[in-house]
Structure 1
Amino acid sequence: MHRIGGIILAAGGSTRMGTPKQILAPSGIPMICAAVQAAQTGGCDVVCVVTGHARAAVESAAATFHPLFVHNEAWQRGMGSSIRVGLAALPPVSAVILLACDQPAVDATVIRSLIEHHQRTGLPVVASHYAQTLGIPALFAQPCFDELKSLSDDRGAKSVIHSKPDRVAALEFPAGALDLDTPEDLHAWHCHKLQNLAPPC
């Protein structure tokens, strides 16, 4: 069995943004939709969206993509609780890719590259490398599932990534450094897009 599951962590309260960032559309479609589309077209066989705050709005925005929705009643406890809920909701898979919906540079190419790195290296963890750290989006093969399930409520997947560096392959993804937590981050993303669209001198 070589099925890949995608878990999109979309439960946060967006307190610093001031509005549910899951449904903001800095690239033309709601960020939750962009994340689901990236996972589905990037090679995930099943995609689970973990909701929390603004559940109804998130589910309504992404409904046309028909992901598996699962609600984390304890979303305020932290990311670890959402990871556990997502893993429990997935059917049997050989690996999962964890991604957030607030990294606007994540697309199908990034997801596909994580899978290809895993297949090429045989390593159980493939993590994105940006801003001098390793983080999500990241792929975890089945031998890592128990560690993910054992995360405390307030811990994210980064602790699993860094616990055993020799089992981790790094995927260079500089644009992953930008996640949209504040209105200033949103402005920075718009500036980034404008720079990329500018004609060469």
Structure 2
Amino acid sequence: MTITDPQVETAKPNVAIILLAAGASTRMGVPKQLLPYQGRSLLNRTIESAIASVCKPVVVVLGANCQHIRSQVNQTGVEVIENPEWKLGMSTSIKSGILSLSKCSESIDAAIIAVCDQPFVSAEIINNLVATYCSTGKPIIASRYAETLGVPALFSHKFFSELAALRETIGAKYLIEKHLSEVFCVPFPLGVIDIDTPQDYEQLQMRDSIAPLEK
């Protein structure tokens, strides 16, 4: 009979989460990171979901309007870093976040890439990515919505070098499509809702006002 160490059976991976919030919100006209929704900014809602999840550390990457946005982030246990190259595209923010993980005292097994303009990202959604990673052994766990795969998405550490090597406006979705055979997807229907324009924000607020009537 083989005796298994119970500590091995219950070992959990160290999964970080990187929240991308460096964009200039040019289509919105104001920093969308700070748009209020249900009493909190979009960014703070996402940060609080990340803090409530199993992920550690929580890394927030800022760029445009960095000082103003940083002053609105007051949660403890959050590492806020500035991407000075944010104008070159999302890839530079992913790189900044991934490189920051090398400073962690513990080795990181995987990282979730998420954005702050998907208002329905929750701790449950984040934890489901981690649980699926543990149960399937697949190195990439992506969210499925609107017949596509995207973020939030989890990447095993074996993809960290590729994430850090992305260029210009290429995001995490590129790696998901490149390594499709190594991807497992989880449903996140509300992931299709992201806030890029004033019209998107207006529709979000209208949706919130209609929702109670539907219950």
Q: TM-score, normalised by structure 2?
A: 0.89
**Mind listing any 5+ residue stretches in structure 2 that lack a counterpart?**
1-11
Q: Does residue 75 of the first structure (1) align with residue 86 of the second (2)?
A: yes
C-alpha contact 1:127 1:135 (8 A) present in aligned 2: yes
Q: CA deviation at 1:61?
A: 1.3
Matched, 1:13 2:28: no
Q: Which residue of 2 aligns with 1:179?
A: 194
The answer on whether the counterparts of 1:55 and 1:71 sit within 8 Å (CA) in structure 2 is yes
Q: Is the 8 A contact 1:135 1:161 kept in 2?
A: yes
2:172 alignment counterpart: 157
Which of residues 19, 39, 46 in structure 1 aligns to 2:57? 46
101, 114, 117: which is aligned to 2:129?
114
Q: After the TM superposition, which segments of 4 or more aligned residues of structure 1 sit over 6 Å from their partners?
A: none
Per the TM alignment, residue 109 of structure 1 is displaced from its structure 2 partner at its CA by 0.8
Q: Report if the CA contact (8 A) 1:75-1:81 is conserved.
A: yes
Secondary structure (helix, strand or coil) at the match of 2:19 reads: strand
Residue ranges of structure 1 left out of the alignment (5+ in a row): none
1:6–1:98 CA contact under 8 A, matched in 2: yes
Query: Hey, what's the Cα distance between the residues in 1 that align with 2:84 and 2:196?
Result: 22
CA contact (8 A) 1:47 1:67 kept: yes
1:23 pairs with 2:23: no
Percent identity at matched positions?
Answer: 35
Matched, 1:37 2:37: no
Question: Which one-letter code corresponds to 1:162 in the other structure?
Answer: E
| Contact in 2 for aligned 1:126/1:170 (Cα 8 Å) | yes
CA apart distance, 1:171: 1.0
Query: CA–CA distance in 1 between the matches of 2:151 and 2:180?
Result: 15
Query: How far apart are 1:199 and its partner, in Å?
Result: 4.2
- Report if the CA contact (8 A) 1:32-1:61 is conserved: no
2:76 maps to 1:61 = no
Contact map agreement 1:26 1:186 (CA 8 A) in 2: no
- What is the CA deviation profile of residues 46-86 of structure 1, one whole-angstrom value per residue up to 9, with x for unaligned ones? 11110101111221111234410110001010010100001
Aligned length in residues: 200
2:110 to 80, 95, 110: 95
| Counterpart residue identity of residue 13, structure 1 | A
